[in-house]
Chains A and B, each alone.
Chain A
Amino acid sequence: MPSRRLSPLLGLLLILALVVTLFPVFWIVMTALKPPTDWNAVPAVWIPAKPTLVNFRTLFDPEAIREYGVGGVSQSASAAVFGSLLASTVSTALSILIGLLAAIGLSRYSSGSTATPLIILSGRMFPPAAIAVPFVIIFSAAHIIDTYSGLIAIYVAATVPFSTWMLKSFVDDLPREIEEAAMVDGQSRLMAHLTVTMPLIRGGLFATTLFIFILNWSDFMFALVLSYGRIATIPVQLAKYVTATAGTLYGVQAALAVLAMIPLVLAGFAIQSHLARGMTFGAIKR
């Protein structure tokens, strides 16, 4: 299709689409900055006249919001922020390590059977609510229910398919002659991969790492069914805030929601050229 300029009508449509796309994000960020009087105001306060960070402070100090004469939240979100950071980073690191080995194995040595992709995919198709049930049983028996180790184990298992296939698509892009040259030079296979393959796919490795982090950080259901008080993550905490306070502390809830999405939006923009590859198991490359 020849590239042409934008007609005024299409330009208008584009602006309309942009407003619809960005409005919800704008609203939640603004709500997080609003003092309690503005949260639920009629007519709506679109941009707070006196923006405040009190909602964010309340997340870590539940009493902070009282200076506005509003009851505090029952629970600090510090544990949830810590839990999300811990579970997401550790499981991402493990997932990438395992996925990288598998990617090189699958791409270069066809190691692993042809059934592997099928098994992996059916794992992804199984409704998580149901796969969570056996996890609860197995984890209870193994005494790792309501622990971060258990949560991390699930996250690794759930994301290894993604890290493997995304990394494999990057390794596939490399001509194998490069590694062969290093092997002819006398390096062992593993050394060749370590010194040649790894540096050459470092961009892909970076993108995959952030992508896996996004997946882990986004999880809601596994954390919901596996946490009974000793562990917490941000999404579960957000759900708790919404029920516990019956929807009255909009600003504090919004602050937690904004806190949850900041790292993801940053990571997402950083790897935006690789997002399609990640979401499609490497089927689409650009």
Chain B
Amino acid sequence: MSMWPHQDTIATQHMDVIASSTTERPADARSLSISAKRTASPVRFLAAPGQIVSLIVLVLPLLVALYMSFTNWTPTRGSLLNASFVGFDNYAELLIYDTRFLEAVVRTFLIGAVCLSLEFVLGLGLAVIFLREFRGKAVLFSAFLTPMMILPVVVGYTFWMLFQSNGPINQMITLFAGQSFAPEWFRSAPFAVATVIVTEVWHWTPLFFLILLSGLNAVPQNPVRAAVILGASPREVFWRVILPMLKPVIVVAFVIRSMEIIKLFDEVFMLTRGGPGSSTETISLYIYKLAFNDFQLAYGAAAAFLVLIGTLFLINSMLLPIREQLLKERR
């Protein structure tokens, strides 16, 4: 603002004029106006640094990992370049014999499904409440977003503390239900899984709330009014008019959260380290242990690629319902 006050005012005036005259330009006009084609202008290379960074720091490691996944390399066998090629052995081992891996996949999937369902229902419920008018709405809105602003490690640590055998949660249980109902949360498998789910749901329900509320606020009002005039009850309006229009937003929320929960690591690391036994071991935690505790780096890389393929497949099928819309938006 202070640096270019003059241009700023001009630009704002321009914007007002333009906003009133044209709202949308035809797609093919873009390349005519400020096209950089056939000119040696530096603008052609604006994306280059980003691409180079992605190439060096994302694509290169991916290729190294891919190569590694076809070898039997471990750090004790010297250089990766001298490792012997074993074809698809690692992949076959994982998919056929490695029950711990398969269990981790199923477990991550189940934990993810439970968490996302709960987050969706709670987030939607909260968002619907926020469509009403009440005092202190702005402050409460911020308050409800707090959990998602806290870093995962700290969230994991906080709940680890809350779930200690003489921690506040058990003390509250004891207060209301008596000593015999206070469990040792991290000593039994189902309770440990419950702590992971509670932590995740607490942490990320605000994201669903945020995304769904912004979606609800953007729902066009005309179909809603029409339905009301035609005699639909509020319930019918919500389930049959508003919710279908919310579909793209819901899909986006689920896709974003799925991508993250498949990688679930930090919170579980702080809460249970995968224990007791391997009862809360997620895919990421298993791969981490393979690579950095057992030094099975090549094997871990193969596991990671299987996960990547599965994730791509999953995300793609989740995007199917809004595929048309996405293609349209890309112009």
Residues of A within 8 A of B (CB): 1-6, 10-11, 13-14, 17-18, 20-22, 24-25, 27-28, 31, 40, 42-44, 46, 97-99, 101-102, 104-106, 108-112, 116, 119-120, 122-135, 137-138, 153-154, 156-157, 160-161, 164, 174-183, 188-190, 193, 195-196, 199-200, 202, 214, 217-218, 220-221, 225, 235, 238-239, 242, 247, 250, 253-254, 257, 260-261, 264-265, 267-269, 272, 275-276, 279-280, 283-284, 286
Contacts and interface: CB of A to CB of B under 8 A. Distances in A.
A18 B144 CA distance: 7
Most chain A beta-carbon contacts within 10 A, residue among B141, B149, B216, B259? B149
Contact of B161 (A27, A122, A202): A27
Nearest to B172: A44
B149 A264 contact: yes
A170 B228 CA distance: 36
B262 A125 contact: yes
A119 B301 contact: no
Given A130-B291, A131-B61, A269 B161 contact: no
Contacts of A116: 47, 51, 54
Contacts of A3: 131-133
A122 to B, nearest CB: 7
Contact of A112 (B22, B47, B133): B47
Contacts of B188: none
A188 B42 CA distance: 10
Contacts of B68: 133-134, 137
B158 A177 contact: no
B320 interface: no
A177 to B, nearest CB: 5
A154 B35 CA distance: 33
A124 B259 contact: yes
Given A111-B45, A133-B301, A239-B269, A101 B50 contact: yes
Most chain B beta-carbon contacts within 10 A, residue among A10, A164, A218? A218
Interface string B1-16: 1011001100100110
Nearest to A101: B46
Contacts of A99: 50
Contacts of B285: 129
9 interchain residue pairs of minimum CB distance: A130-B304, A105-B46, A268-B149, A157-B57, A102-B50, A134-B61, A105-B47, A112-B47, A218-B151
A21 B61 CA distance: 39
Contacts of A179: 34
Nearest to A154: B57
Interface stretch (B91-99, B189-197, B306-314): B306-314
Nearest to A123: B58
Contact of B61 (A97, A135, A268, A272): A135
Contacts of B160: 242
A165 to B, nearest CB: 11
Given A1-B237, A3-B132, A20-B202, A119 B14 contact: no
Contacts of B89: none
A97 B47 CA distance: 11
Contacts of B53: 98, 156-157, 160
Interface string B116-135: 00000010001001011110
B178 interface: no
Contacts of A242: 157, 160, 270
Nearest to A46: B168
A78 to B, nearest CB: 19
Interface string B35-71: 1100001111111111101101111111011001000
Interface of B: 1, 3-4, 7-8, 11, 14-15, 18-19, 22, 25, 30-31, 33-36, 41-51, 53-54, 56-62, 64-65, 68, 80, 122, 126, 129, 131-134, 140-155, 157-162, 164, 166-168, 171, 202, 206-207, 210-211, 214-218, 224, 228, 234, 237-238, 242, 249, 252-253, 256, 259, 262-263, 265-266, 269-270, 283-285, 287-288, 291-292, 297, 300-301, 303-305, 307-308, 311-312, 315
A135 B297 CA distance: 12
Contact of B291 (A126, A129, A250, A254): A129
A238 B154 contact: yes
A218 B292 CA distance: 21
Contacts of B266: 220-221, 235
Contacts of B259: 124-125
Contacts of B65: 130-131, 133-134
A249 to B, nearest CB: 12
6 contacts: A101-B48, A105-B46, A109-B46, A128-B265, A221-B284, A283-B252
A39 to B, nearest CB: 10
Contact of A164 (B42, B50, B206, B252): B50
Contacts of B46: 101-102, 104-105, 109, 111
Contact of B43 (A97, A105, A253): A105
Most chain B beta-carbon contacts within 10 A, residue among A110, A129, A238? A129
Given A133-B297, A242-B160, 9 more contacts: A4-B132, A120-B54, A125-B311, A126-B307, A128-B265, A131-B58, A225-B288, A247-B164, A279-B256
B118 to A, nearest CB: 13
Nearest to B290: A129
